[in-house]
A and B are shown apart, each in its own frame.
Chain A
Amino acid sequence: MMQAKLRDLLITNILAIVLGLVASGLMLLFLGKNPVNAYSVLITSVVRDGYTFADIFVKATPLMFTALAFAFTYKANLYNIGAQGQFYIGAVIAAAGSLFLQNILPGWLVLIITLVLTIVGGGLWGAFIGFVKARYNSNEFLVSMMSTYVALAIMNYLLRTFLIEGKAEYPQTDALAAAVWLPRLIPGTRLHIGFVLAVLACVGVWVLLYKTTLGYRIRAVGYNAGAAEMSGINAKKLYILAFFISGALAGVAGFTEVNGVQHMLVQGFNPDLGAAGIGIAILANGNPIGIIFAATLFGALKVGGTIMGQMSGIPSSIIELMQGFVMVFVILSYFVRTWLENNREKRKLQKAVAK
């Protein structure tokens, strides 16, 4: 019984990914490229050396955070479309905090303080959405979406004024001192400790949601706010809290990107982290553990796609198409699984009747 379910889960998901690749392959044919060639380049390129392979996880790191941000509020039946903005707020705070503190305090302490600041900053930025939802019953979908533009404007403003680099040439900050870079996990690659942080965050969110009474209440409100309210649970308070946690998670992505990868803040970097996060969360059906795998898949596609573009002259935007196709098929596979499950039950019944 359980085995049949697990078998379905594995087969349908793998099949979905394969179908997604086949469909994208057809698109490659239209472009006049040989898909078999392209895919062999894609696969060999990501495993050709340790640096590239490790980059998959570098790319997956911020995606896990923004996906968690969407998935967390989703469990409370709320939609946080503003992870991109919360990420920018986190990035601004990380850059400003690091630059300000790096000459005063030891590196490790700066990192810890900056992390806390991004959590608080991203969290408060998100909590505002929850607050207007709870207080004025405003639509969190729209408010969170618009808050991204506000965050973007704030970042751009600061990058042209207070945070602009020493020579004031480009809208970007000075480089961070090496002391406040996130430590590398594997020498010779870009893989930094932020990846561990991201995986821990996924596990932590899973524990919070499924093992604590707070998470229980958040899910209860998500499934049925009426019954939760009727049971003495203050749904409005939970809206604000859920958005705080969600914003904080997205904010930490800013920290890992600035202190772990870019080592500075550049205007308009990583503009599609929020959107990709939503896709990953949907791909994982909101499951925090599933997000680890889904984000890794997206990371691999991103790394492979860039190289594929460089090597075979295929536009790297084909990768977005592949992500889209894979997502569509994975979502379809949910329905296929339910259908398989129902049919199995039905056959069992008919067999029982026939006896």
Chain B
Amino acid sequence: METAFFELRGISKYFAKVIANQDVSFSIQRGEVLALLGENGAGKSTIMKILYGLYKADEGKLFKDGKEIKIDSPKEAMELGISMIQQHFSLVPAHTVTENIILGNVKGIIEQKLLGEEIKRLAKLYGFELNPDDYIRDLAVGVQQKVEILKALYQKTNLLIMDEPTAVLTPQEAENLMGFVKDFTAQGNSVIFITHKLKEVMSVADRIIVMRAGRVYGDIKRAETNELELSKLMIGRDLNWVNKDERQESLDQEVRLELQQVTLQEKTGVPALKDISLTLHKGEILGIAGVSGNGQQELCEIVCGALLPTKGRVLLDGEDITERKIRDRIDLGIGYVPADRSSDGMIMDMSIAENMLLKSSYDKKWQKRGFIDKQKLNQYALQEIRDYSIKAPSPETIARGLSGGNQQKVVLAREVDNGEKVIVFDQPTRGLDLGAVNHIHQVILKERAKGKSILLVSTELSEIFALSDRIAILYKGEIQGVFNSAELTTEKIGLLMAGFREGEVSNDAG
């Protein structure tokens, strides 16, 4: 067997309270695409950060071409030809493409023009359409990613590590990325993909490392496996996937929530939402598809009352609630699971019980003689912990110590109870492991069956398709169309998400 390009042998990493990696060993060959598959918290990112010099392993060794190496900083990693693109890009928005690419690799006088030419040539080589003088802040997320890749290429990278690279991309952009990966590895370079998406793994990887709970549970060639086997390895058990056919058709067609020509003007004068009209019926899930940042969050916040529309009206059961504030809307029975739970949905430094109280602290039911009825609150929290199988020792556990999935379940449990009529879910499963995703999907369907109206915003098409009765596509703050979910295909929705209108879609697709 040929010597591995890079090899990790017996790596262990302990953080306080958790084992991040334990005895992890695998190798990567030249020209190979390796997928690192696993649920969130399985230790994928940690092991890659060790390889990239961001973390120091507690035990174990690293090898390059059979020789032992030490990597103590990203700088040393780069010198060995390793680059890593983090999930959240590390670009400077106020700088140009060129300035970002040369950041940290330039000394003395900067020859802008010369460097620009070089970057253009490099971009052309891989078929990237990029203007080196554009400012990062003006670029779409997909293009920003290309800048990150170029940055790595500029540093003559041989091993490119990408952490969840397709999470922010449209299906078309993702396809382009896969094309690049193939070109890049064809020249003898290697790529490691960190992902939890099975489809992606099956389409691009040569070999798959499956991780669970910090250990390697499988090292398999793509050709010798299938999605089912991988998902079992990843989760360690079988899952009951939500199946559309099992659902009852919605019978009730009574309108619950209505948005009438809602427009939201930003301070800059650009409308974040433009002339949006939507109806949400009782017992219905309305999916909002779209690439993130196209007005989804604004839409959700208008429904829950955090933002007031510049124009248009919001009706709940026929009553005008446009001017009602958040607290009133909570009392009216509108629940909201925000996309960013750590900044909008919960208080990380408070306990689970205290987080349960967050939206109903004015409610007399939690008070006894002017004080918080701690016993009642703890009992309630304990019940929710059991009902939602939140992994926490007690209601007093501080939220920060929970895993992302369990934190999300806390928010979910609270909002399901708050939202007696309408529940808004903004990316309810983003970044969660399959077990948690599955659980959350079951909860959403259960609430729908109770007759609640659900607005489901997601950038994950599979989620939209699996749950929605109807689907609306949001692009640059406008509704591209509302469809019954059976009318749409992945391709069609992808084009709608990219800004094509329905007429154009059929032309293009035809």
Binding site for B on A (CB under 8 A): 207, 211-213, 216-217, 219-220, 223-224, 226-234, 341-343, 345-346, 349-350, 353
Contacts and interface: CB of A to CB of B under 8 A. Distances in A.
A349 B17 CA distance: 7
Contact of B22 (A223, A226, A234, A353): A353
29 contacts: A212-B372, A213-B357, A213-B362, A219-B350, A220-B347, A220-B350, A220-B354, A223-B348, A224-B343, A224-B347, A224-B348, A224-B349, A226-B343, A227-B343, A227-B346, A230-B304, A230-B306, A230-B338, A230-B344, A231-B358, A232-B327, A232-B359, A233-B361, A234-B327, A345-B17, A349-B17, A349-B18, A349-B19, A350-B14
Contacts of B1: none
Contacts of A342: 16-17
Contacts of B350: 219-220, 223
B349 A223 contact: yes
Kindly list the 3 A-B residue pairs having the minimum CB-CB distance in the complex, ordered from nearest: A232-B327, A342-B16, A232-B326
Contacts of B304: 230
A213 B19 contact: no
A229 B326 contact: yes
Contacts of B338: 230
Given A212-B371, A226-B344, 15 more contacts: A207-B371, A213-B361, A213-B366, A213-B367, A216-B354, A223-B348, A227-B347, A227-B358, A230-B338, A231-B326, A233-B327, A342-B16, A346-B14, A346-B16, A349-B14
B330 interface: yes
Interface string B330-363: 1000001010000111111110001001110110
A211 B347 CA distance: 17
Interface in B1-25: 12, 14-19, 22
Contacts of B318: none
B510 interface: no
**Residue of A212, A224, A233, A341 with most chain B CB atoms under a 10 A cut-off:** A224
Given A213-B362, A213-B372, A231 B330 contact: yes
Interface of B: 12, 14-19, 22, 304-306, 325-330, 336, 338, 343-350, 354, 357-359, 361-362, 366-367, 370-372, 374
Contacts of A234: 327
A196 B22 CA distance: 57
Nearest to B366: A213
A217 B367 CA distance: 14
Contacts of B327: 232-234
Contacts of B345: 227, 230
Contacts of B370: 212
Contacts of B330: 231-232
Given A216-B354, A227-B344, A227-B346, A232 B17 contact: no
B427 to A, nearest CB: 15
Contacts of A345: 16-17
Contacts of B366: 213
Contacts of A343: 16
Nearest to B358: A231
Nearest to B411: A227
A35 to B, nearest CB: 39
B146 to A, nearest CB: 32
Nearest to A213: B361
B361 A216 contact: yes
Contacts of B344: 226-227, 230
A141 B370 CA distance: 32
Contacts of B354: 216, 220
Contacts of A213: 357, 361-362, 366-367, 372
B347 A228 contact: yes
A228 B355 CA distance: 10
B347 A216 contact: no
B217 to A, nearest CB: 17
A220 B358 CA distance: 8
A216 B350 CA distance: 10
Contacts of B306: 229-230
B358 A211 contact: no
Contacts of B359: 231-232
Contact of A211 (B329, B336, B371): B371
Nearest to B305: A232
B370 to A, nearest CB: 7
Contacts of A353: 12, 19, 22
B22 to A, nearest CB: 7
Nearest to A212: B371
Contacts of A231: 326, 330, 358-359, 361
Contacts of B346: 224, 227
Contacts of A230: 304, 306, 326, 336, 338, 344-345
Instruction: Output the residue of B330, B354, B371 with the most chain A CB within 10 A.
Output: B371
Nearest to B361: A213
Given A220-B347, A223-B350, A341 B326 contact: no
Contacts of B329: 232
B339 to A, nearest CB: 11
A5 to B, nearest CB: 14
A229 B327 CA distance: 9
A234 B361 CA distance: 12
Contacts of B357: 213, 216
A80 B225 CA distance: 63
Contact of A216 (B325, B349, B372): B372
